[in-house]
A and B are shown apart, each in its own frame.
Chain A
Amino acid sequence: MAGGGGGTEELNLVPYLDIMVNLIMFLITITAYIAEMRESPVLAPGGGQCKVQPCPTPKPHLTVAIDKAGFSIIGSADTINPTRLVLNAQGFPYDDLQSRLGEYKESIKDIEENIVITADSDIPYKTIMATMDAARADKKGKRLFPGVTFSRVVGQH
């Protein structure tokens, strides 16, 4: 056909390729800005109970109670002295809690590494998680109480 110019011309792939390269670069670089997620294990209430009979003698364990005024550390045995840590200028005294838990770990032989955490109804989850962080290991990375079981005070609503 005269003047039709109807030859089969190839598509210009260069703009498409540009888009692809930009998208790939974007996806690769965005990983640096995506929040990295981790998981912190928690056992169900009663999860630490034995499943074999006869049950071995339970080890002494600690309970950390959180309320608006601070922390209370209570032991399962009478020989464990309770501790009360009140709020300081920065808020909850996580450093004090950590060092106190370290002292318990050092002083009580065969103490259970699983602690029980209980809190007032309106204590936010971030405070619970910060408490778990403080209990997990000390500043030098020494293992303290990595296991956690949540509990609730009887009668609490």
Chain B
Amino acid sequence: MSAEPVENPENESNEDDDFLLMRRRRHGAANLIEGLNLTAMMDMMTIILVFLIKQYASAPENIQMSEVMRPPKSTVEEAVQPTVNIFITQKQILVDDKEVLKVAGGKIVSDKPANEALVPLNEALQKQVNRINALHDRGGPEFDGALMVVADQETPYELLYTILQSASRAQFNEYRMIVVANGK
């Protein structure tokens, strides 16, 4: 009577494991994920970054403050609406980011006679009105007479009033004085 070897379930299990391990070692490299594909994520990040930069650059309330341009604080709550803008700093007056007049000590500096000193400002504002009217003729928005005034908090009333009066002659009759939100 020959005694047949009794199958040991434990041995069988070990053999299976070895076989699987060997197989994994032989073919596994092809099946494993080596790394994430970052290209899609990079595309997404680039789009978000460009979007954020463009958004900040085009925001009407994005006003660069400096030592010569600090708008006053106010409790007003109206949001800024984009329109033609005029900047009155302690050193210059700019219309749509182009310098039209120089300022020193709260007064306009010009080598022209007093009655002609404001001519560059009037011309620059009139040019903006003509541009908006030309755009309106081609289907753009109508000129609403609004002017965004960004002035330094130390600007004397005389200078501010003179500039607004000049703007009034160029058909601007509503001034949006830009201020830093102070909260209540």
Q: Is the CB of A40 within 8 A of B76?
A: yes
Kindly report which residue of chain B lies nearest to residue A23, judged by CB atoms.
B49
In chain B, positions 56-75 with a C-beta closer than 8 Å to chain A are 56, 61-63, 65, 71-75
Q: Is the CB of B45 within 8 A of A24?
A: yes
A-B contact count (CB 8 A): 145
In chain B, positions 149-184 with a C-beta closer than 8 Å to chain A are 149, 151-158, 160-161, 164-165, 167-168, 172-181
Q: How many residues of B contact A (CB 8 A)?
A: 53
- Give the Cβ gap from B154 to chain A, nearest Cβ, in Å: 5
Q: Is the CB of A121 within 8 A of B157?
A: yes
Q: Mark A19-59, 1 if CB is under 8 A from B, else 0.
A: 01101100110000011111111111111000000000000
Interface: B130 (CB within 8 A)? no
- Residues of B at under 8 Å CB distance from A? 38-39, 41-42, 45-46, 48-49, 52-53, 56, 61-63, 65, 71-81, 106, 148-149, 151-158, 160-161, 164-165, 167-168, 172-181
Sample of 5 further A-B pairs with CB below 8 A, known A37-B179, A38-B79: A27-B56, A36-B180, A42-B175, A44-B167, A124-B156
